[in-house]
Every structure is written in C-alpha cells, then in structure tokens.
Amino acid sequence: MFGKEVILSASQVEKINSLVPAKFKKESWSSKDFRQSDLGVFSAIIEFRLKLEQNLRSDKNELEYLTKKGKEEVKQKILELKSSKIIIFNIEPFEARPIGMVDIGMVKKFSTTSTGNRFETGMIGYAIEQASDEVWANNNAQENALNEVKNEFIKKAASLYPDCNMIFKFESDFREMGSSGNVFIYLKGTASIGNNKGMEDVKKEETRLFDEFEQKKVELKKQIENIQEEYNFIQENIGKIPQSKSDIEKMLGK
C-alpha cells in the first residue's frame, strides 16, 4: 500500500539527520521511515517530545521542591542525628560549659490508667533515663510515650543550642491528669558544651549531606538545561521533517 521503497540519497540523509534529535539519527534512511502512521519517524519524534515535556515538568518540580524545602529536610536529618549523639546527665555540669536551659512539657495518653503512687516509685523516671533503643525494644506503651517526649526534649535542645552536645541536671516530673490515663510529662535540663567525640561523626555527616544536596541541585539544573535544549531543537525542526513519502523530495531536496 505504501508503494515501492525508496532509499534516500546521501544529501537527503545528511539533511534529515540535521533535523532529528541525536537518538533518531541513522546512516541510511528510506521512504518507509516516513509513513503516515505511528511507525513513521515524525510520529516517533512527537511521542519523544511528549516524554521530554513530562520529564521537564517533573525535573522543574523537583528543583523547586529542593529549593524551597530540600535544605530544611537536610537540616532536620542533621538535627535528628545530632540529637542521637547528645549525652544526658542528671548531675551538675562537669568539665563542660553550660549554655542555656531547655525544657519541654507534653501530655501523653497511656494505654492504662495509673495511680499517683506508681509515679512516686520512680519507675517512670527510671524508664525515661534509659537509652532510646532499650526503651523502644520493650514495646511498652507507657515507655514509648515517655521516650517520645525525651526525643522531642533532646531535639529541642539541639535546635535551640546548635553547639549543645551534652545535657546536665536532667530532671523529670510527671502528673497524672485525673483517671483518664493522660499524663503530663515535664522534662528540663541544662544544655552544655563538653567533650563528646560522637559529635565528630555528626560534623562529617553534615558536610556530606550538604555537599550531596548542592550537587543534586547542580545536576538537576544541568539536566533541565539539556532537556530544554533538546525540546527546543525539536520545536524548531519538527515542521521540516517529511510526514509522508510525497514530502521527502519536496522537503529534503534530491
């Protein structure tokens, strides 16, 4: 139905290769490549242009997100890492420099109600002073609630005092609110700067994360630039590409 296949001349091949994106260039072209169907090069380039549009939109959205929120996410990761390295003591500052007070109060609902006497025994105070991993491992609702408050307390200290690597004079207070199982948990301590070798890892990770973040933005900008350039090339030349056998000689010469 398409008629006899015609092989394009060298000058026509050179001309068509100058009009199509790099991935479509060929050493030899024939009239079959210009069918008025999805098999033709014109339709293939139109489909390719659509994919470029989608990729361009996606990359631009990602870059916009990185620009607006990416840096804050990196800071949050660093804050969480720093919080995990802060050492807590319930004693007076020792071989450390106090830099400020930090406190936090939160209401937590325990799965079961408790009497005031239970709090007086110091069991909650004991639980909250344990290492984070140990508390979570117990999978106990009360201990988990306490640990959540402790984690927020440490993150607040790290946020308020970026140089803080220790907390001294750590104290906790608990008040049961009626018989509902709700408990008000209040924690306080003195943010301090001392010898904490664990923070060396934080500094290394901070440098790595920010370098990675900036590199990602550079790569994304370059990728957008390349896609835009290829898209513009198609826009400039798509109207010069034959869509049928009859258009070949008329649009590409002999």
Predicted confidence at residue 138, as pLDDT, reads 45
Q: Residue 180: which residues within 8 A CB-CB, separation 6 or more?
A: 109, 113
pTM: 0.66
Per-block average pLDDT, block size 10, for the chain (254 residues)? Answer: 75 92 92 81 93 96 91 89 90 91 88 44 44 44 80 93 93 79 88 91 90 94 96 94 85 84
DSSP string covering 70-97, please? IHHHHHHHHHHHHHHH-EE-SS---SEE
Domain boundaries, the chain: 10-64+214-252, 87-195
Predicted confidence at residue 161, as pLDDT, reads 94
CATH number for the domain whose boundaries are 87-195: 3.30.110.70
What is d(CA 222, CA 20) in angstroms, rounded to the nearest whole number?
22
Q: Are 46 and 237 in contact (CB under 8 A)?
A: no
What is d(CA 239, CA 138) in angstroms, rounded to the nearest whole number?
69
